[in-house]
Structure 1
Amino acid sequence: MFHFYRGAEEYGPFIGDWDEFVQMWLDGWIGSGDWRRVVPEWLAYARSCKQNDRRILCLSYESLVREPIKCVDRLRKFLIPHRSLDPEVAEAIGEHTTFERMRDNPQTNYEDMNGFASDFKFIRQGKISLQLNSIANELMINPSRFSFLSRPFC
């Protein structure tokens, strides 16, 4: 989210550093509301909703990186539960949707997007847990504030 706000012209773009952004995020000043409240509410709704026209599939960024084939199967079950998917097709989808492949593909990693800074990268590193390495020591004085970062949400 930090890099999105740095590239999105609608938000300034944001010119502060990581520490300032995290503090603003923790204080509820980042658009879309307090992530720690909004995301669990959406997940609770997704788990409780059984109507076909209101269902929500939740896939975490971490699961997309760690278990892409499992995510492909979850998506298949969500969209077309009555059909199966050949394992070779699932493997090909998993391969074509890795962050490395999408980052190198101009059809998925857009350049010159309206509303974004000229140097904005739509798909960046595709790494997980980097935010834990970036939080400054002074923000870690109260570790309970960041305990939600290690909890799986989806």
Structure 2
Amino acid sequence: MSNGEEISCTTAIEKASASLTRFPLIPVRGIPLMSCIAENWDNIWAFRPDPSDLLIATYPKAGTTWTQEIVDLLLHNGDAEACKRAPTPIRSPFLEIKFPPPMSSGLDLLTKMDPPRIIKTHLPFQLVPTGFWENKCKTIYVARNAKDNLVSYYHFDCMNLTQPEPGPWEGYIHKFMRGELAWGSWYDHVKGFWEERKKRNILYLFYEDMKENPRHEVERIMRYLDLSLSDEVIRNIVELTSFKKMKENPMANYSFIPAPVFDPSISPFMRKGEVGDWENHFTPEQSKMFDEDYEKQMKGSNMPFRSKI
């Protein structure tokens, strides 16, 4: 994207943002989605990806932007300048998102791009358009431990003024446990892709592994994409996708989104990026209650989540 196009994009967002409000949730096949998505559902469901397209799927606030940046750098041989050609949601469109004109929806952006495309989604497995599976598209899924994911989502819902009002922390915990947040239940989301990972050739990653040994996980993604990059390039990608570097990168930190949409005075889009921050939010009583519910909802699951590293 040229500088002129970038300014034009930002101006369009600023104009449109003046009329944006918090979108209510509307169930789509039992999954609560923002009304702007639910009302465009037929078009989303009908989307037909190219077999060369790559899908990056996550529950919200589980490392999506991080993974998008890693993939883009891998596909550009670690060229940082090439990956500054446009902000993340332009380089890697958000499949289901739709805002009022003149802002572009994910589908609008995708129709203007030639494959192969990097496509982002927060849709649970059962709502991902079937064309992704019929065309055997590669899919990377990232899962984050429930407590940290909850904390990050809470802060995001506070600062993202298009999503439903989060209410107080004490009540938000219960909304999360009941799956009443946008994109539904964390439990069903992480389990849905986990159960399908082998059948659908899904590369299933854990946020905590990415934090603990980023080089190892970057190399896993590289191999999954059938790439072979030098050790030097891999080291550079690991450095460029560190939390500190990405938080400073205007093409990845969502700083181009105006305050009427993302209010950084409430919380930055990239807040901490840590494992174990939940301990600064949960009271002992809340943690006990959450753990008991977690055991019930994850019963029978063998998923290796870690809330500390």
- Give me the TM-score of the superposition, normalised by structure 1: 0.79
Counterpart in the other structure of 1:144: 292
| CA deviations over 1:21-59 (Å, ceiling 9, x no partner) | 111111221121111122111122123214xxxxx3332
Q: Is the 8 A contact 2:179 2:185 kept in 1?
A: yes
Counterpart in the other structure of 1:58: 204
Within 5 Å, give how 1:1-154 maps onto structure 2: 1-14=153-166, 16-50=167-201, 56-80=202-226, 83-113=227-257, 115-119=261-265, 120-142=267-289, 143-147=291-295, 152-153=304-305
Shift of 1:129: 1.6
Shift of 1:144: 2.1
What secondary structure sits across from 2:203 in the alignment?
A: coil
| CA deviations over 1:1-37 (Å, ceiling 9, x no partner) | 11221122222342x2322211111122112111112
In 2: Cα distance, 1:59 partner to 1:35 partner:
15
Shift of 1:112: 4.0
In 2: Cα distance, 1:141 partner to 1:64 partner:
27
Q: Which moved more, 1:1-10 or 1:105-114?
A: 105-114
Unpaired runs of 5+ residues, structure 2, are: 1-152
Cα distance 1:141–1:76, how it changes in 2: closer, same or farther (>3 A)? closer
In 1: Cα distance, 2:198 partner to 2:263 partner:
37
What secondary structure sits across from 1:91 in the alignment?
A: helix
Unpaired runs of 5+ residues, structure 1, are: 51-55
| CA deviations over 1:65-87 (Å, ceiling 9, x no partner) | 1111111111111112xx42211
Shift of 1:137: 2.8
- Give me the TM-score of the superposition, normalised by structure 2: 0.42
In 1: Cα distance, 2:157 partner to 2:198 partner:
29
In 2: Cα distance, 1:132 partner to 1:146 partner:
16
Runs of 4+ off more than 4 Å: none
Q: Structure 1 counterpart of 2:242, which letter?
A: T
> Per residue, is there more strand in 1 or in 2?
2
What secondary structure sits across from 1:138 in the alignment?
A: helix
Q: Structure 2 counterpart of 1:145, which letter?
A: D
In 2: Cα distance, 1:73 partner to 1:124 partner:
26
In 1: Cα distance, 2:263 partner to 2:246 partner:
20
What secondary structure sits across from 1:22 in the alignment?
A: helix
> Per residue, is there more helix in 1 or in 2?
1
Shift of 1:118: 4.7
Q: Is the 8 A contact 1:73 1:90 kept in 2?
A: yes
**Identity percentage over the alignment?**
26
Quote the RMSD (CA, aligned, Å). 2.3
What secondary structure sits across from 1:58 in the alignment?
A: strand
